[in-house]
Amino acid sequence: MGSPPAKKVLLTSNGDEISQSIAFSLAQRGCRLVLMGKESCLRGIVQKITGPLEGAVAPVEVVDVDMEDEREGTFDEAVEKACNILGNLDAFVHCYTYEETAKKQVVEAAPLGRWLDVKNDLASSSVMYLISDGSRYMTGTTIFVDGAESLTRPRMPSFM
């Protein structure tokens, strides 16, 4: 019996440390990735992933899209391109952050009193569990990894 097929993952990103760490962790675990966001930012992530893991990971593709474009069709077209590349999706990981707004709100609110530890809080725990077969019974759920902000200020939008 062979190993299970690689998970096909679409990950939105603006090139920040959080999405880089998640993308790298997914690639290390054999996932086939399409990164979606500003292409000029994402090409650097692709190089960081494929450089040290050359030959050990599936190709990582990029779909260029302006994530702050409010026209619904723009996002739909980009997702369709990603699906054409991957064939189908096993997971969608939304990591795009609106940096300036998020930084201001975390400084003001920060219920946990600290920033997210990218490697320990997210990449090796929450996302990996959701991508794994162990979460196969979970459907249609949004998990906020926002340092308890959504609990202490439920009307405040989460940007993480």
pLDDT tens digits, 107-160: 666 667 666 776 677 666 777 888 888 888 888 777 777 777 677 665 545 444
DSSP of the chain: --PPPPPEEEEE--S-HHHHHHHHHHHHTT-EEEEEE-HHHHHHHHHHHHTTTTTTS--EEEEE--TT---HHHHHHHHHHHHHHHSS-SEEEE----HHHHHHHHHH--TTSS---IIIIIIIIIHHHHHSGGGTT--S-----STTHHHH-TTSPP--
pLDDT tens digits, 1-16: 566 778 999 999 988 8
Instruction: Indicate the number of domains in the chain.
Output: 1
Please check whether residue 40 lies inside any domain of the structure: yes
Please check whether residue 120 lies inside any domain of the structure: yes
Please check whether residue 156 lies inside any domain of the structure: no
Residues 17, 13: Cα–Cα separation, whole Å: 10
Please check the confidence at residue 70 and state whether its pLDDT lies above 90: no
Residues 129, 7: Cα–Cα separation, whole Å: 13
Please check whether residue 151 lies inside any domain of the structure: no
pLDDT tens digits, 72-115: 789 899 999 999 999 988 999 988 876 656 666 666 666 676 66
Task: Tell me which residue range forms the domain holding 53.
Answer: 8-136
pTM exceeds cut of 0.75 = no
Please check the confidence at residue 39 and state whether its pLDDT lies above 70: yes
What is the CATH number for 66? 3.40.50.720
What's the rounded mean pLDDT across residues 42-51? 88
